[in-house]
Amino acid sequence: MTKREISGYIYAAIASVALANSFIFSKLSFSEVNFYQFGFFWFFTGTIWNFLYVLSMRHKNKFSFRASVKKINRELLAVSLLEAVATGLFYYAILIMENPGVVSFIGNVGPVFVVIFGVVFLKESFNKVQLFGIILAIGGVFAISLKGFDSFNELLISGSQYVVLAAFLFSIATIIARKKRKTIDPAVLSLVRALILLFSFTLIILATQSSFIISGRAWALLSAGSFLEVFITIVFAYKSLQYIKAFKTSLIISTKGIFALLSAWLFLSLTPLYVEIIGGLISIIGVVFVSFESRNK
**Dist. CA 67–CA 292, nearest whole Å:** 36
Q: What is the pLDDT of residue 183?
A: 61
Residues in the chain: 297
| Least confident range of 16-30, 125-139, 239-253 | 239-253
Render pLDDT for 167-178 as a digit per residue (tens, 0 to 9): 899 888 878 877
Residue 145 CB partners (closer than 8 Å, separation 6+): 106, 156, 157, 160
| pLDDT at 40 > cutoff 60 | yes
Closest CA to 154 of 162, 145, 163: 145
Task: Please count the other Cβ atoms lying within 10 Å of the Cβ belonging to residue 146.
Answer: 14
| Least confident range of 10-24, 107-121, 187-201, 262-276 | 107-121
**Dist. CA 59–CA 40, nearest whole Å:** 28
User: How distant, in Å, are the alpha carbons of 36, 41, 241, 263 from that of 45?
Assistant: 14, 6, 25, 23
pTM: 0.80
In the DSSP assignment, the letter for residue 98 is: S
Model confidence at 296, in pLDDT bands (50, 70, 90)? Answer: very low
**Dist. CA 186–CA 188, nearest whole Å:** 6
Task: Please count the other Cβ atoms lying within 10 Å of the Cβ belonging to residue 206.
Answer: 12
| pLDDT at 151 > cutoff 70 | no
Domain, as residue range, for 178: 3-295
Say how many domains are in the chain.
1
Task: Calculate mean pLDDT across residues 190-207.
Answer: 89
User: How distant, in Å, are the alpha carbons of 15, 34, 97, 178 from that of 231?
Assistant: 10, 23, 25, 22
User: How distant, in Å, are the alpha carbons of 25, 167, 223, 251, 270 from that of 34?
Assistant: 14, 24, 16, 33, 21
Q: What is the pLDDT of residue 33?
A: 94
